[in-house]
Every structure is written in C-alpha cells, then in structure tokens.
Amino acid sequence: MLRLRHCLPGPSAIRVLSSAVASGSDKAGAETSEGGSSQQGGRLPRVTIQPAIKRNPTDLLQALSDTVGVDPTAPHFAFIDDPAMIPSTAAAKRHYYMAKELGKRAARQLAEEWPTLFMFDRDYPRLSAFRPEQQPDPLQVDPTEENLLKMVEQREVKDAVMLYERMRSENKDVSDSAQLALFKLVAYYNGENVPFAEWEEWHGLRNYGESKYNEWTNAGIADLLYETLPKTAETTSILVAGMCKFASAESVQRAENLIKEMLEKNQVPHVEAFNGLIAKGDHGQWTWALAQMKNVKVKPNIGTWNALLSANTKLQSNSERKSHLAKLLNEMIALGVEPSLTSYNIVLEGIIDTREQVAGGTHGGMTREEQDQLEDALSWMVEIVSRLESLPQLTIQSPECNHFFLTAMVYASRASNLPLAERLVALYESEKNLVKMPAFTVENQFYTRYLRLYIERTHSINDIEEKYKELVPRLVGVTKTLTREMCEKVRNAPKWSCIRRVIEDGINSRAMTDHKQSSIFRKILLDVSFLNLSISEREEYKNLVKKLVGAWVELSRFTEENTKRLQIKMFPATVSECALMLHRIGESDRAYEMLETLLDEEAKYGETATITDQGTPNYQSINEMFQDALRESNASRAAICLEILALNTSRNKLEPLAAQIIERYEFISSKNIKSFCIL
C-alpha cells in the first residue's frame, strides 16, 4: 500500500482504489474501510489482512493436479516417457513392467547381500526404508520366540513353520500366545507362503503373478497347532474359516462338524466361521448355519450377506435364483446394510448362468434364454448404477470390489448398450469413486470393452478417432481385433490422420507380421487418394509406405540359418501391392526392382527364397503400373508388367494389354501378336 500511496496521483485515485478493494474484499481476503473521510481529512484506506486459510499439506498438489488435469496420451508413470519406449500392447506392458520391477529386485538383493557397499550414510534421521535387510534363514537363526514372532509379523509362513518345528525338535518352549499367532497365520494361508495377490511392495508380481488354488491340507501344521492349543471359540473359528477358505468337500464337512461341537460346548462361533460355511457349504449347510446364527445371536456383517448372495448363485433354477437375490438385496437395504460393490458383482454374475447350456433358438449368437438373462441383468444394472450414482462415496470393502466395474461393462458390451457403458465409465472416473481396478489387467479389459463398444455404436469417424487417441495405448492395449475394427471404420470413412494412427499402432503391435492384417493395411493405403492429401500429409504417407515396405522386405530377408525362424516370406500379391504403393509415392525405380523379383526364380525357390510360390500377384496393381508405364512411354517397364501378368493370368486378359502396347508403339505386326501373348 505504501508503494501505491506514492504512485497514485491524489485522493480521487485512492478513492477508486479503495472502492475496488472493498468490492473485491471477500475474494482477496482483505477488508478496507475508508469511511468517506479521505476527501476531507486525507486519510488513507485501512487494510486488514485476514489470517491465512488453513490448508492441508496436499492441497497445493491437489490444486495443481486439478489445474493441469490428466493427460490421457501420456504413458503410465511406470514406463519411460519416450515414444520408442512406450508399450502398445497388453503383453508389452506386462513384459516391460515386470522387467523394471525385476531390475529393482536385483538391486535390492545386492543391497541385502552387501550392505557395506551402500554405506553412504548421510541421511539424518536414518531411513530404514533404504536399508533393506536380508530375511533370516530359519535354519541358521537362533531358535527363539522373538525370532518366531518376527517371522510371523513379516508373514513368512513357511520360514515361521520351519523355525517352529526346529524349536520343538530342540525342546525350546513356545508360549501359547506365540503359538496362537503362528496358528492364525498358518490357518489363514493354509501353511503356504503369501500368495502374489497379497504382495504389497512389488506391484508387478501382485498383478501378474498367478497363485494356484490349493485345498485345505489335512493333518497339516494348522491341524497340529490346533491340537496343541486350547480349544476356544476363537481357535476353532479360525480353523473353520481356514477350512472354508481353502474348501474341499471334506474340509467343509469337517468345518460343519467343528461348529456343531462348539455349539454343543456352548461356545459361540465367530461370525467368520459362519460366513465361511455359508459361502462354501451346500443349501442344507448354509440354511443350518443361518438358523444357528440366529439361535446364538451372532450379528451378520457384510461378509455374511455376500456369502449368502454367493450361496444363492449356486441355485439351479434361474427364476428362483433371481427372486432370492432380489429378496436378499431388499433385506440388506431394509436393515440398513449398504451392499458393497462385491455384493453387486455377485448379483450380476449370478443372474446370468454360464454353466447352463440352454437349448433353444439363437438370436445374434445368443440363445433365447441367454438373451432373457441378459435383459434381466441389464435392468438390474440400471438400478444398481442409479443407486451407486446417488451415493456420496464408493469405498472399497474387499479386494474383489473392483470386479463389479468389469462385470458390468461386459454385460453392457454384450448388450451393445453404449449409454450404460458411458455411465459406468463416468462413475468409475468420478472423484467419489475410491475403488480402482488394477492397471494393465482388469482396467485394460474394462476400457477395451468400452472402446470396442464405442467404435461399434458410433458413426462419426472424428468421434471415434478422438476416443481412440484418448484411450490407446495408455489404457487400452492394441489388439488384432481392435485394429481390425478400426480398419473397417476407416475403410468406410477414410480420414488420413486416423488411418495413420491405426497403422502405426498396428506396426507397434506387430500386426504387420500377420498376413491378413498386413493385407488390410495395404488395401487401406491403396484406397487413399494421394493427390487429395495436403503436402504435409503426403510426406506422412510417403514415410509410412516406406516404413511398411521396408519392414516387410526386411522380414522376408531373414534367410540365414540362425535367423530363419524370424522370416516371413512375401506373397506375390504383397510384392505387387508394395510395388504399386512405392510407384505412387514416386519411388518407381524401387517399385520395379521389387516387381522384377517376381520374375526371379531364385527369389521363389531355394534356401534364400524371399517370396512364396503360392498365390498370384494382384492384377489391378500390375495393370495400374502397366498403364502408367505406357503413359510414360517406358517400354521396358510395360514389358516387365506384361511378363508378370503373362505368367499369372489368363490369355483373355492379356490380349487387350498386348493390343494396347501395339497401339502405342505400332512396331509389332499383327502376325506377332500371338507369339507375344504366348510369352
């Protein structure tokens, strides 16, 4: 303000300033009061600075993020932000992500093995996160309870069991609390190591690692520990829950018997034990379990409801299944239990019975029964999505919650219902949704379904192009099916920018090594009217053609013994079409060089062959080049074209061409036409 006092010319200007400040005081967080006395007394406006607004540590970052927004064309943060390094396909994403993660694991391993080499200890306070420690070997470590508990805490199941067995063999005492902790761990994981899906630090293995389903190990370490521990409601419930988690027919039966034993002893089983039996038991078992829950007054939780919903999906009758699911959902809502996304997912999966092979008439690849089920599922989905949209927040209740979005998208896609799919995407991307699908796997499938549906239901090529560029390759990996569908669209409504992008994505996803797909690429490029393109587009067209032809030629030239497996021989049609493309972009010399290979026997037969002896060259392509050669009065080129056609087409197609040559040059007598045609 002091500076302003000197700068402004006089009281009138100050009055203007003060009124401006006063009018904007709410926004600026400052108040002014002049009192109209500046004119008489020359007083300056009084400015009161408001106290600073208290903000969270992440508010600034949030504001920046909101301002900048998400760049959908940028690669995932895990990948190198360089066009040559951004993966296009789901497989490439998997390989690169895993490669990077394994590199990190290798470095971590070095630091664990040789920590003294990493002692650049300038951090204060010391950060243990950057000092990884090697896992203690259960056969080397001191057999103490402390070490055992440490292993239990770190969820090293097999190591903990090994150490426990060692302690028992060496007659070391293990307290009940330590045994209970070990028992909980062992029962929860069935004596196996933690599955990949529960790995916290290494995301790649968590998402891509596959853990086999294993059944409960009878007379395993969990059973042995249970025998040594007091048979309380807690321990028995843990054992029951474990048996139902790794269910087999035998283990479920044992679980039921254990619950019965508990009830006989007047012990109250925990809700998890009942939940397990309801989810994995048959109709009789879960109805019995529900009745017992009521008797012993065990309050159900969301897990109980989900278990009940799962149990109902096993019912054979479709109508019975639907009515049960509806009743259950209504009851949940009536009791004030908000169904989780897992509940809705179970409901949706339960409506369409994939096990049943329903006989009947088909319509659009689906049986009538399947169509009815799909219609039911859609009407349910509309209700569910409307309810979810009205909720203030979607929170994660269990690890399976994210599956709802994919299941719903699969049904919307099967029913070709684009508006519903768009509602799902909007719901998933909304700020209130805290449930996220794992990137590259489930999320990739979700968006791939959505994009394919969008392409199918949208007519405007501009809209399709915009959506395609928004989702590919960041969220959707390029696939052969997607490329084929996009090619169909651009063939019907050619647009150069879209054609270029689709073909370049095809190159990146190695679609050009597929004969059928590469043939489609060539047809699209040959359909493009080169003269109608702008100057910059012509350059792009030329570069793209050169790149494609160069790649096909290179792939055909892997004739050495060690590279033979990589070879993809060209078909005569490929050669002729490539030659025509080169000819159109002004690379006529190279085009005719390629054409001449069709006349070369060595190129077709023998160890160094680059062209297959199957199929014939494309007549239209050669004919166009032939006509151009005639227009240019280039007899040798016309002769090459005619010779190729003579070897591959019928006589009645050749005669008019030969007549054209004669008409043009008038040097062959009519007597020689026959011999020329025979050639």
Partner 1 sequence: MLGQVLARGGRLPCVDCARAIATSSADMVNRAAKYRSTRDRSQLLTYDMAMRPHHIGVKKAWLTWHSQNLEEFRQQQPVTLTQDEIVRRFIRGFFPQHVVVHGNEVVIKRRGNVLFVSGFLQYSKRLDHRRIYWMFGFVEEFLSLVLKQPVKLELAFVETEDDVAYNYI
Structural tokens at position 106:
């290798």
| Contact between 327 and 298 (Cβ < 8 Å) | no
Q: Does 133 bind partner 1 (CB under 8 A)?
A: no
Task: By CB under 8 A, name the one of 1, 74, 110, 434 that touches partner 1.
Answer: 110
Specify the residue, 486 or 511, whose C-beta has the smaller distance to partner 1.
Answer: 511
Q: Does 84 bind partner 1 (CB under 8 A)?
A: yes
Q: Does 557 bind partner 1 (CB under 8 A)?
A: no
Q: Does 651 bind partner 1 (CB under 8 A)?
A: no
Least Å from the CB of residue 91 to partner 1? 11
| Contact between 593 and 552 (Cβ < 8 Å) | no
Q: Does 127 bind partner 1 (CB under 8 A)?
A: yes
Closest CA to 189 of 165, 148, 168, 217: 217
**DSSP calls for 312-327:** HTT-S-HHHHHHHHHH
Terminal-to-terminal C-alpha distance of the chain: 99
Q: Does 121 bind partner 1 (CB under 8 A)?
A: yes
Closest CA to 179 of 138, 259, 238: 238
Q: Restricting to residues 387-426, which ones interact with partner 1 according to CB under 8 A?
A: none
Task: By CB under 8 A, name the one of 66, 71, 82, 666 that touches partner 1.
Answer: 82
Residue labelled with tokens 């013994």: 561
Least Å from the CB of residue 95 to partner 1? 6
Q: Does 130 bind partner 1 (CB under 8 A)?
A: yes
Least Å from the CB of residue 83 to partner 1? 9
Specify the residue, 106 or 678, whose C-beta has the smaller distance to partner 1.
Answer: 106
| Residues near partner 1 (CB under 8 A), total | 31
Specify the residue, 86 or 229, whose C-beta has the smaller distance to partner 1.
Answer: 86
What does each C-alpha distance from 587 to 283, 512, 582 come to in angstroms?
75, 21, 5
The radius of gyration computed from the CA coordinates of the chain, to the nearest angstrom, equals 37
Q: How far apart are CA 495 and CA 498, in angstroms?
A: 6
Least Å from the CB of residue 525 to partner 1? 25
Q: How far apart are CA 484 and CA 490, in angstroms?
A: 10
Q: Which long-range contacts (CB under 8 A, 24 or more apart) does 97-105 make?
A: 97/203, 97/204, 97/208, 97/440, 98/204, 98/205, 98/208, 100/204, 101/202, 101/203, 101/204, 101/205, 102/204, 105/202
Task: By CB under 8 A, name the one of 8, 111, 141, 555 that touches partner 1.
Answer: 111
Per the omega criterion (within 30 degrees of 0), is the bond before 473 cis?
yes
Least Å from the CB of residue 163 to partner 1? 28
Count how many Cα atoms sit within 13 Å of the Cα of residue 562 in the half-sphere of its side chain.
Answer: 0
Torsion angles phi and psi, residue 664, rounded to 5: -70, -45
Specify the residue, 72 or 103, whose C-beta has the smaller distance to partner 1.
Answer: 103
Task: By CB under 8 A, name the one of 14, 17, 90, 92 that touches partner 1.
Answer: 92
Q: Does 201 bind partner 1 (CB under 8 A)?
A: no
Specify the residue, 112 or 655, whose C-beta has the smaller distance to partner 1.
Answer: 112
Q: Restricting to residues 21-80, which ones interact with partner 1 according to CB under 8 A?
A: 80
Residue labelled with tokens 């406006």: 45
Q: How far apart are CA 599 and CA 611, in angstroms?
A: 11
Stretch that binds partner 1, among 129-137, 180-188, 300-308, 397-405 (CB under 8 A): 129-137
Least Å from the CB of residue 441 to partner 1? 18
Stretch that binds partner 1, among 103-111, 250-258, 304-312, 390-398 (CB under 8 A): 103-111
Stretch that binds partner 1, among 123-131, 218-226, 238-246, 455-463 (CB under 8 A): 123-131
Task: By CB under 8 A, name the one of 66, 71, 123, 607 that touches partner 1.
Answer: 123
Q: Restricting to residues 497-526, which ones interact with partner 1 according to CB under 8 A?
A: none
Stretch that binds partner 1, among 83-91, 385-393, 422-430, 599-607 (CB under 8 A): 83-91
3-state secondary structure 103-137: HHHHHHHHHHHCHHHHCCCCCCCCCHHHCCCCCCC
Specify the residue, 102 or 333, whose C-beta has the smaller distance to partner 1.
Answer: 102
Helix (H, G, I), strand (E, B) or coil at 32: strand
| Contact between 8 and 14 (Cβ < 8 Å) | yes
Helix (H, G, I), strand (E, B) or coil at 47: strand
Specify the residue, 231 or 546, whose C-beta has the smaller distance to partner 1.
Answer: 546
Closest CA to 626 of 677, 578, 660: 660
Q: Restricting to residues 611-650, which ones interact with partner 1 according to CB under 8 A?
A: none
Q: Does 102 bind partner 1 (CB under 8 A)?
A: yes
Structural tokens at position 430:
């909304």
Q: Does 431 bind partner 1 (CB under 8 A)?
A: no
Specify the residue, 57 or 365, whose C-beta has the smaller distance to partner 1.
Answer: 57
Q: Does 99 bind partner 1 (CB under 8 A)?
A: yes
Using CB under 8 A as the criterion, which residues of the chain lie in contact with partner 1 when the complex forms?
80-82, 84-85, 87, 92, 95-97, 99-108, 110-111, 118, 120-123, 127, 130-132
